[in-house]
């Protein structure tokens, strides 16, 4: 493998607060270690459409506190084809990009594997509000998204309480319930419905509401993960079966925005630094993660083969204390 002189950095898949802090850390660490740094815009699209820009110390000024990603992001269908990957590798050669740091989720790491197969060493950094990346206990953006969701649900709670209503709130998280379960505990939701834990609407929602109503409770918060969905229908069923007026709210993309929390800024900074350090050490095609508060790394293959589960104890705790 030829010596690495130039490192590219891109953000891919859904954006997440803290991606900017990660880009900043990668660029500044790279410059400090004597690499030429370039930004690749709009995820893998930038490698197909040659949207590449030189990055200096000032290119990443004033972004650490901003949500979104200054490099833009995209889901790039063309890159999933052999022709697209060929073109991306050619662009790397044309612009002298010897290695790429990919900030995104599992899909983006699968893309990085393909780039690696074309001779471009890659490092993956976990960036997604879903916290659904198996090789890491924490993903950049998760803390901010949880705080945003809690802030909004606290507002919903005011109106839910004033009307003696039930609010069914749908949170993001594709096939994962981490965001929903933890936010549910933080807001005292009487039911947290997530794809990982089987539930029965009658037993876990309706019967529970009726039982708790008898203790004097008059308003209810129920959180539902996107992967479970059907929040409007659920609100209707609840109203029909309990007589409690119910409304559904889908929080949506607002959960992906906003200034990153301290945790996201710091984690992104440590991970960004480690990404460049790995390339400097010649440790290629790795994904950086967090384990027991330590920064760790795994081969991309191993990272993608790992499994992560939502601790069912969280559900037990939630059911015990939120009623």
For residue 2, CA distances in Å to 6, 251, 282, 283, 286 come to 11, 48, 10, 13, 18
Pairing of strands 286-291, 294-299: antiparallel
Binding to ligand ADP (CB under 6 A): which residues in 25-64?
A: 43-44
CB closer to ligand ADP out of 16 and 37: 16
Active-site hit among 15, 98, 106, 130: 130
CB closer to ligand F6P out of 12 and 322: 12
The H or E element containing residue 236 is helix 231-242
Q: Are 164 and 219 in contact (CB under 8 A)?
A: yes
User: Is residue 130 among the annotated active site residues?
Assistant: yes
Based on the shown chain and the rule CB under 6 A, indicate whether residue 178 belongs to the binding site for ligand ADP.
no
Of 169-177, 200-208, 236-244, 312-320, which part binds ligand F6P (CB under 6 A)? 169-177
Q: Are 252 and 129 in contact (CB under 8 A)?
A: no
Based on the shown chain and the rule CB under 6 A, indicate whether residue 128 belongs to the binding site for ligand ADP.
yes
Of 79-87, 125-133, 152-160, 200-208, which part binds ligand F6P (CB under 6 A)? 125-133
Binding to ligand ADP (CB under 6 A): which residues in 88-117?
A: 104-108, 110-111, 114
CB closer to ligand F6P out of 39 and 105: 105
DSSP per-residue string spanning 107-139 = HHHHHHHHHHHTT--EEEEEB-TT---TT-S--
Of 127-135, 158-166, 187-195, 306-314, which part binds ligand F6P (CB under 6 A)? 127-135
Q: Are 7 and 97 in contact (CB under 8 A)?
A: yes
Based on the shown chain and the rule CB under 6 A, indicate whether residue 13 belongs to the binding site for ligand ADP.
yes
Among 79, 138, 142, 298, binds ligand ADP (CB under 6 A): 79
Cα–Cα distance between 148 and 145 in angstroms, integer? 5
Cα–Cα distance between 66 and 134 in angstroms, integer? 27
Based on the shown chain and the rule CB under 6 A, indicate whether residue 170 belongs to the binding site for ligand F6P.
no
Based on the shown chain and the rule CB under 6 A, indicate whether residue 256 belongs to the binding site for ligand F6P.
yes
Pairing of strands 99-104, 52-55: unpaired
Based on the shown chain and the rule CB under 6 A, indicate whether residue 134 belongs to the binding site for ligand F6P.
no
Q: Are 131 and 145 in contact (CB under 8 A)?
A: no
Q: Which of 143, 176, 169 is nearest to 154 (CA)?
A: 169
Among 33, 36, 66, 75, binds ligand ADP (CB under 6 A): 75
Residue ranges that bind ligand ADP, judged by CB under 6 A? 12-14, 43-44, 75-76, 79-80, 104-108, 110-111, 114, 128
Residue ranges that bind ligand F6P, judged by CB under 6 A? 14, 105, 128-130, 172-174, 226, 256
Catalytic residues: 130
């Amino acid at each position: 493998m030829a010596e690495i002189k130039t490192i590219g950095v891109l953000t891919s898949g859904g954006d997440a607060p803290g991606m900017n802090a990660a880009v900043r850390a990668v660029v500044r660490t790279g410059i400090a270690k004597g690499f030429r740094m370039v930004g690749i815009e709009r995820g893998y699209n930038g490698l197909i459409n040659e949207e590449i820009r030189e990055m200096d110390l000032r290119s990443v000024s004033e972004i650490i506190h901003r949500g979104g990603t200054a490099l833009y992001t995209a889901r790039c269908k063309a890159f999933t084809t052999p022709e697209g990957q060929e073109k991306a590798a050619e662009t790397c050669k044309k612009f002298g990009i010897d290695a790429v740091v990919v900030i995104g989720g599992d899909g983006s790491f699968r893309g990085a594997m393909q780039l690696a197969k074309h001779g471009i060493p890659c490092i993956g950094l976990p960036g997604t509000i879903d916290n659904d990346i198996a090789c890491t206990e924490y993903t950049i953006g998760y803390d901010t998204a949880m705080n945003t969701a809690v802030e909004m649900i606290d507002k919903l709670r005011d109106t839910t309480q004033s009307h003696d209503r039930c609010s069914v709130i749908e949170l993001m998280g594709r096939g994962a319930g981490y965001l929903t379960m933890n936010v549910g505990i933080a807001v005292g939701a009487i039911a947290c419905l997530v794809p990982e834990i089987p539930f029965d609407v009658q037993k876990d929602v309706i019967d529970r509401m009726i039982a708790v109503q008898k203790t004097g409770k008059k308003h209810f918060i129920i959180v539902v993960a996107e992967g479970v969905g059907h929040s409007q229908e659920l609100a209707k069923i609840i109203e029909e079966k309990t007589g409690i007026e119910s409304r559904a709210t889908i929080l949506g993309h607002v959960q992906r925005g906003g200034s990153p929390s301290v945790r996201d800024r710091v984690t992104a900074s440590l991970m960004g630094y480690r990404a460049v350090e790995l390339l400097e050490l010649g440790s290629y095609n790795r994904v950086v993660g967090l384990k027991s508060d330590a920064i760790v790394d795994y081969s991309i293959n191993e990272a993608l083969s790992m499994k992560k589960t939502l601790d069912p104890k969280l559900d037990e705790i939630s059911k015990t204390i939120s009623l």
